[in-house]
Amino acid sequence: MINLLIIVFLILAIAFVAGGCGPGAINSNNYNSNINGGSSSSSSSSSSSSSGSSEGTTANPVVLALGTAHNGTVAADGQSVYSFTTTTSVAYTVSFTNINPSITASSPVSISIEQSNGAPLAYSCNMQMTCNLPLLQTLTSYFMIVKNTGASHETYAMTVQLPRSEGTLSNPILLTVNTPYNGMVAPQVASVYSFTTTTSGQYTISLTSQIPVSWAADFELLNESLTPHINDNTNTFQTSSLTANNTYLLEVGDSASWEETYTLIVTP
């Protein structure tokens, strides 16, 4: 009988320990607490990225292809670094599209240019305008630095390109009388436009620059036989009497060293 009681006691003891009530059991409250603690740490790491990210460094810049748009980003209180290589010695332009709506003319986002040795050029602009870079050397690499001193990250699309003109004598840009047109002209060349008169008499041709740089356009109005009709060096001039329902060619030249953008309008 005693041996039977001892056997029963041992069986009960083994069952008690295996049931998890012994000192070696896992504390489920502590386990859940550790899991929750890990989740909180992960959430904190994610929120730290709300300032966005920048791209490129002077040691490893983002390389831009001339004439190809690049979708860029710059972190709050940070800078992104790009590089491009010139093909000829002109004043290149940098244009921006898909700009974050928070970027304004007084925005803390600015653009600067440095030579490959880090020496800065005396130049800067913001994203609210087409940036006309200074005259750059041929086949030379330059850094372009987008700096953001604001409290939020910014996104944009940027394109570095040769200065542009538009229209030719054989294929001019068509203007409509009394309708403004946004145009452009490269340095030392001309953009070519045409318009058809609606009535006979004198017409006024006005050009308003879209960039805060003073410059004088070189106008040349040509008749259908391409003979020079009038020249003027101001940004508004009045023609002599023109024939109704006749088409005229207009050249807008740029004697400056940078691309010009402007609004052009022809009125009777």
Domain boundaries along the sequence of the chain: 62-161, 173-267
**CATH placement of domain 173-267:** 2.60.120.380
Structure tokens at 6: 């001892």
The phi-psi region of residue 258 (left if phi > 0; otherwise alpha if psi is between -120 and 50; otherwise beta) is beta
Fold classification of 62-161 is Jelly Rolls (2.60.120)
Instruction: For residue 111, count CB atoms less than 10 angstroms from its CB and return exposed for 0-12, middle for 13-18, buried for 19 or more.
Output: buried
Strand partners, 73: 155
The string of DSSP letters for 15-41 reads HHHHTT-STTS--HHHHHHHHHHHHHH
Q: Which amino acid is at 174?
A: L
Number of H helices, E strands in the chain: 2, 18
Cα pseudo-dihedral 157, 162, 167, 171, rounded to 10: -100
The per-residue pLDDT string of the chain (268 residues; one tens digit each, 9 = 90 and over) reads 555 545 545 555 555 545 544 444 434 344 333 323 333 333 322 223 457 899 999 999 999 999 999 999 999 999 999 999 999 887 788 888 877 766 655 566 788 888 888 788 877 777 766 787 888 888 999 999 999 888 888 888 999 988 878 898 889 999 999 999 998 888 777 889 999 999 999 999 988 876 655 566 677 887 755 555 555 556 788 888 898 999 998 888 876 667 778 889 999 9
**Domains 62-161 and 173-267 fall in the same CATH topology:** yes
